[in-house]
Structure 1
Amino acid sequence: MDRTSALDSAFLHVENRTAALHIASLALFAGPVPTHQEVRAAIARKLPLAPRCRQRLVGVPFALGRPVWVDDPDFDLGRHVHRAAVPAPGGHAELRGLVERLLSEPLDHTAPLWEDWVLEGLADGGWALLTKVHHTMVDGIAGTDLLSTLLDASPDGDAVRGDDWHPGRAPGGVRLVADAVRDGVALRLSELTSLPQTAGAALGGGLRHPRAAAESVYAAARGLIGYATNARPTDGTSLVGPIGRDRGYAWTEVDLARVLDVHRRLGGTVNDLVLAAVTRGFRELLLARGEEPSAHKVRTLVPVSVRHPDQRGHLDNRVSAILAELPVEIADPHDRLTEVAIRMRALKDSHEAQVGEQITGIADALPALPLAAFLHLAFRMPHRNLTTVVTNVPGPTRPLYLAGRRMVATFPYVPIGDRLRSGIAVTTYDGRLLLGVTTDRDSMPDADVLVDGITAGFAELAALAGTRTGRTTHRKAKVAR
């Protein structure tokens, strides 16, 4: 019985009727389409490697503690692996419509928080697998790890141990309360006993290494100032506002080798190139809507993984974030990339991500009930601090298979909520850079303008690299590669 962290449970507290907070992936496979029995058998044999897939969340009575993961005594794979036919003629538009409908539906909180949908009937003879996993269960990296775990590294299937799983006994209400009280008391005692030691170590370290201590304090202060600066509202725009429950979803891809070549020729990081292309997309969308693409109009949340190498494979959330303003006011693609690179380097140097990690650590020590009440209130108050979210998670570098069929591509999906009407997720797989764009379907019927603008952003950077070989982003030393 594992207790969720404050960050894990936060995704439960802020979910509502207009914000289904599952992450997802749309994987395209080469044919022929496997039978339903083949798919279920392929996934079933991998479940021992992902115990969380057979666990559900149970709340603590009176919210005296955060929810816990327990074995689902009624686990039935049939509740999680489904099949649907793409309407004729099975083209991109029909697949997109079905995927959007499925992504708009929330997961069942009374069962393990994931589901797979085999989508057949594609005109090219292939098929798709839509995987949905609640954000309480995984972050972006953990979601990628889960996909790699449930699929195979070869068409013949991976060798796995036999399945001897039997659900553990479900805890009763008395035990849930007792364990929550015990864990809370243990945490408070740990804080009290460690405080003198921590304070002593900090004081001793400061006396022995005053310069390092001063730099640490300065870094923390810069991070706090960075977050405080981004607390100011963005300029008004139609990109932010009330949203409905229906989601729009579009996807596109770019040749990864071409992106890496642009990275080598123009400098910056690959993530800088992604953000520069996304900036072009939002600039095009604003112009198409007759809005001035001025400064301080588009601020994005950029998740930053704080997962250590030995924590790979753990299904939970270990992520912080930085807040970046996208320079949509800049028309020249090279100047736009340069500005993005400079801003991202400054944000990394400001230690905002480290401060965010410390804040989530503090939240773990707070009582569950007032923290939940605060989250419910905070995410229901109108604000203009964010415009979108852009997440970039490296994916598998080798081909993966399900039921002997090769996965051709996997497009990521990031959920949106509150007043965010769009989100962009990026991943890599087998030589491709793959992007998924989530939108509120009602308020963003022009989402294709954004997607086409992002694609054009990559194309103009590639053209720029070809005509300005060797030119790099500069201004203030060299940008990190």
Structure 2
Amino acid sequence: MSSISRMAGGDAGFLYMETPSTHMHTLKIAVLEPSSDNTFERLIEMMTERLRLLPPMRRRVVPVPFALHHPVLVTQRQIDPARHFFRHDIGGAGTMRDLERLIGEICSTPLDRSVPLWELHLCEGLADGKVAIVGKIHHAMADGLAANAMLANVMDVSSTDLRTSVRTEATEGVDDPSRSLLVRHALRDGARQLLDFPRLVASTVRRLAAVVRYRRRMDGSVPLPVKDAPRTSFNRPLTPRRSFATVTMPLADLKRVRAVHADIEGLTLNDVVLAVTSGALRRWLDLHDEHPRSSLTAGVPVGLDAADIEPRLIGNNVSNLFTTLATDIDDPAARLQEISTTTRHAKAISHRLGAALMEWSQFTPPAPFAALVRAYSRLRGARLHASAFNVIVSNVPGPRERVKIAGAQLADVFSVGPLTEGIGLNVTVWSYVDRMNFSLLTCPDLLPDVEVLASFFPDALAELLGEPEPDEAAEAVPEGQARQDQHDRHDQHGDHPHGDQESA
């Protein structure tokens, strides 16, 4: 990769979408077993050694004068550890809930754009001697699939499929380009881009026509953004604050839901994830006496990379499909059926649209778009209309076997993407060995009790399995204790690799 490269419009869009209350970074959390290697100095040493395997961690965003085009990425000669590595002490008796609170604080501040857009936070002081490494990287630099590939490049493992992503980068750092060079290249690239405009228009017309034809003949319906999303308390203007919670459940139990509901044709693991999220949200809405006029809807990121290409280590290549969570259906089997049917149609529509939105983002005018987003946020525009959808739900397959990072055993891995204006809840799922790790990110000024919502996920899974639910009275349990016990139980899982996990 060149030392200087133009950002794609889709990547740069995540920069333009950032405001004082909307932080567009993602989090990757690695919980490590006790080890003599779990030191701050060793973390810096290990990551510095592997920077050549992590292209986004050497790239700095350089804006173009007068915002004539999207910014460029410049490879830095050196990384200043003081700007990227941070240390936290939870106190020596820290619980998982204490770690989650700290992660919420880490997520509540934006990244510094004067350096490459990432941070690593070493969180020490957990009661069991474990430590957590919280990676914070801007969405403009990597989507979930690219972040997954980068994670593989810092793992010590011999056989996991993720190791196919390892590659080196020999590019040396360079000085920042001059203003005149940035302007000349922006004008040149803009002129070349205009040549592609007729092809993009024709392609988009064909794709839209295919979508219209499909919608006319499909049995059922797929929710439309804004039109079909009901208002809820967590679909309002964001504030800068973030809160975070996790819940871990056996992968085998989620797969068992498919066996219990074998009569649902084409039922996928992702459908089960959506149904579990739906069941948890139904309980939370009941607890808060919220009764939306219709079912909640979900935006589901969909990777557009071909399955047979080399994994990416940088950038974004995703679309979004819109589906129902069927929260207005009481019967769990009927709810799962509705989710599965609707999501199947949503995938078909997303396939027909392809990368149209990503391609059109190349023509986004940087200055006007960023100014419009900032004005919308400042004026709290999200209060004036329904959100595009109610909640973000993402599902990314993680390592299939137990792995190490810098010699320390990886006990668990969690991930979560950003919130967007008007959408105050993100549920991101990463698998690890034989478990499914759900991470919930919220704005506490919209959804103040994320740990209570997280506690409802096992209940929702039990409901789908037709089994007695765990204790339902979350408020009767000391704060964090029930979920800490759950983490302790699932930390005892064995080393059995799981099978394929469907991509969203």
Q: Which letter does structure 1 place at the counterpart of 2:229? A: T
Q: 1:198-347 counterparts in 2 under 5 A? A: 217-219=209-211, 222=214, 229-232=224-227, 234-267=229-262, 268-292=267-291, 294-296=293-295, 298-309=296-307, 310=309, 312-347=311-346
Deviation at 1:356, TM superposition (A): 6.2
Deviation at 1:229, TM superposition (A): 3.5
Q: Does 1:414 align with 2:417?
A: yes
Q: Is the 8 A contact 1:255 1:432 kept in 2?
A: yes
Query: How much identity, in percent, do the aligned residues show?
Result: 29
- TM (norm. structure 2) is 0.81
Deviation at 1:165, TM superposition (A): 6.2
Q: Is the 8 A contact 1:287 1:293 kept in 2?
A: no
1:434 is matched with 437
Q: Is the 8 A contact 1:154 1:404 kept in 2?
A: no
CA distance in 2, matches of 1:459, 1:339: 19
CA deviations over 1:167-192 (Å, ceiling 9, x no partner) = 12321111111111001112223546
SS of the equivalent of 1:168 reads coil
Which residue of the other structure, out of 52, 73, 76, is the alignment partner of 1:72?
Answer: 76
1:27 is matched with 30
Shift of the 217–147 alpha-carbon distance from structure 1 to 2, 3 Å rule, reads same
Q: Does 1:117 align with 2:121?
A: yes
Deviation at 1:7, TM superposition (A): 1.3
Shift of the 272–403 alpha-carbon distance from structure 1 to 2, 3 Å rule, reads same
CA distance in 2, matches of 1:56, 1:8: 13
Structure number, greater radius of gyration: 1
Deviation at 1:222, TM superposition (A): 4.5
Gaps of 5+ in 2: 469-502
SS of the equivalent of 1:144 reads helix
Deviation at 1:235, TM superposition (A): 2.8
Q: Does 1:446 align with 2:449?
A: yes
Which residue of the other structure, out of 45, 51, 55, is the alignment partner of 1:47?
Answer: 51
- TM (norm. structure 1) is 0.85
1:12 is matched with 15
Q: Which letter does structure 1 place at the counterpart of 2:325? A: L
1:168 is matched with 174
Which of 1-10 and 35-44 deviates more? 35-44
Deviation at 1:88, TM superposition (A): 4.5
Q: Which letter does structure 2 place at the counterpart of 1:139? A: D
2:473 is matched with none
Which residue of the other structure, out of 398, 404, 407, is the alignment partner of 1:404?
Answer: 407
1:362 is matched with 360
Q: Is the 8 A contact 1:397 1:430 kept in 2?
A: yes
1:473 is matched with none
Q: Which letter does structure 2 place at the counterpart of 1:120? A: E
Q: Between Structure 1 and Structure 2, how many residues are aligned?
A: 449
Q: Is the 8 A contact 2:233 2:447 kept in 1?
A: no
Gaps of 5+ in 1: 203-212, 466-479
Q: Which letter does structure 2 place at the counterpart of 1:344? A: T
CA deviations over 1:119-164 (Å, ceiling 9, x no partner) = 1111011111111110000111111111121232269xx9x99997
CA deviations over 1:5-64 (Å, ceiling 9, x no partner) = 111111111111111111112211111252222222221221111222111000000000
Supply the RMSD in Å over aligned alpha carbons.
Answer: 3.2
Shift of the 235–163 alpha-carbon distance from structure 1 to 2, 3 Å rule, reads closer
Q: Does 1:384 align with 2:386?
A: yes
Shift of the 185–216 alpha-carbon distance from structure 1 to 2, 3 Å rule, reads closer
Which residue of the other structure, out of 347, 350, 353, is the alignment partner of 1:352?
Answer: 350
Q: Is the 8 A contact 1:71 1:167 kept in 2?
A: yes
CA distance in 2, matches of 1:292, 1:315: 41
Which residue of the other structure, out of 133, 140, 157, is the alignment partner of 1:129?
Answer: 133
Deviation at 1:447, TM superposition (A): 1.9
CA distance in 1, matches of 2:215, 2:412: 37
SS of the equivalent of 2:290 reads coil
1:153 is matched with 157
CA distance in 1, matches of 2:453, 2:247: 11
Q: Which letter does structure 2 place at the counterpart of 1:238? A: S
CA distance in 2, matches of 1:63, 1:409: 42
Deviation at 1:384, TM superposition (A): 1.0
